Amino acid sequence: MEKKIITGLMAYGMSGKVFHAPFVDAHPGFKLHAVTERNQKQAEDDYPGVISYNTIDDLIADEAIELIIINTPNYTHFDYATKSLSAGKHILVEKPFTATSAEAKELFELADRMGKKIFFYQNRRWDSDYTAVREVIESGKLGKLNEVHFRYDRYRLAIGPKTFKEEPIAASGLMYDLGPHLLDQAISIFGKPETFHKILGKNRKDTKVDDYFSIHLGYPNSVNVFVHSNLLLVDPLPAFVLHGEKGSLHKERTDIQEEQLLKRMKLSDSAYGIDPEGKEGKLTLIDEQGNKTVHSVPSLRGSYLPLFEAVYQSIVNDVPYPVTQDQVITQLEILEA
């Protein structure tokens, strides 16, 4: 690729090290030019030659940077996105994009005025388990769907140290943390729901924010989609459960990319993105005579590199980015309701 997009990374903590820097570095169309590190300076050890700025304002002011990745706490997204766009940068923003749909629309208008592009980091569209489930849905094997469940559960009894997730401020709580992943996966397949209903819960001792949510999305033709998340689930349920007129599918959450990246596995490793054996989904089909057959559904190979390829193609060749503004507005309208 002749064109290299000069890229800046706003934070080099866990998300910067795991979800962004390895992919920017691996993709031939990007150059990881600079990061922000307020305290420990570690990026240069991992990526020799990268500039380490002390402040985000210094990063934004770097005239060489064309694309800024905003991977800072949720409540800062709107402010930093505004500053970055105003400085003439394209932006890739982690979920949730903003706290409200009104903020999102304001940023869309600013990007249009500046002639810059906004990209949404919805990486879970490229998880190995989700892509396998989506392939089954699109194959039509289940027939007309009637009930769909997407879950993202954890067990974390203690109140976490990240105040932007645990204090009652803008875009805090479990719904704004994991809700964007689940809602994006549902919306990307089924579109904008006709109706929705939310249930929130606070179950951990002394919690100030929601640590449980269940959202029902109603679609035409009696297709009911539920997204759930619970921080106190000791024995996790299947992440994906789908029922249709011709069969049912059960699939665990198995994407291994985060675990591998935390262990510093390279994207070029032949084992990268491949789930371990024994984690296949279970597809049960029934024929017109009532005979049931059970089939194994292996995960597809996971990789977040296609997300960065989509960003590259949009900037360089004006190819539409797969996560659309309308989809993000729908997501935010549900989160903020």
39-76 pLDDT, tens per residue?
889 999 999 999 999 999 999 999 999 999 999 999 99
pLDDT in tens, 255-266: 999 999 999 999
In angstroms, the CA 292 to CA 288 distance is 10
With a cut of 90, say whether residue 82 has pLDDT above it.
yes
The torsion angle over the Cα atoms of residues 44, 48, 51 and 53, rounded to 10 degrees, is 0
User: Does residue 271 sit in helix, strand or coil?
Assistant: coil
User: Does residue 246 sit in helix, strand or coil?
Assistant: coil
Query: The tokens of 282 are what?
Result: 């279970």
Q: What is the pTM of this model?
A: 0.95
pLDDT in tens, 175-228: 999 999 999 999 999 999 999 999 999 999 999 999 999 999 999 999 999 999
Rg (CA), the chain: 20
Residue 1: pLDDT band (50, 70, 90) is low
Query: The tokens of 113 are what?
Result: 């005025």
In angstroms, the CA 313 to CA 30 distance is 11
SS3 sequence of 81-143: HHHHHHCCCEEEEECCCCCCHHHHHHHHHHHHHHCCCEEEECHHHHCHHHHHHHHHHHHCCCC
Nearest C-alpha neighbor of 238 from the set 112, 132, 117:
132
How many other CB atoms are there within 10 angstroms of residue 290's CB atom? 6
pLDDT in tens, 120-169: 999 999 999 999 999 999 999 999 999 999 999 999 999 988 888 999 99
In angstroms, the CA 22 to CA 245 distance is 43
User: Does residue 64 sit in helix, strand or coil?
Assistant: coil
Residue whose pair of structure tokens reads 């009930």 in the numeric block: 147
In angstroms, the CA 181 to CA 69 distance is 18
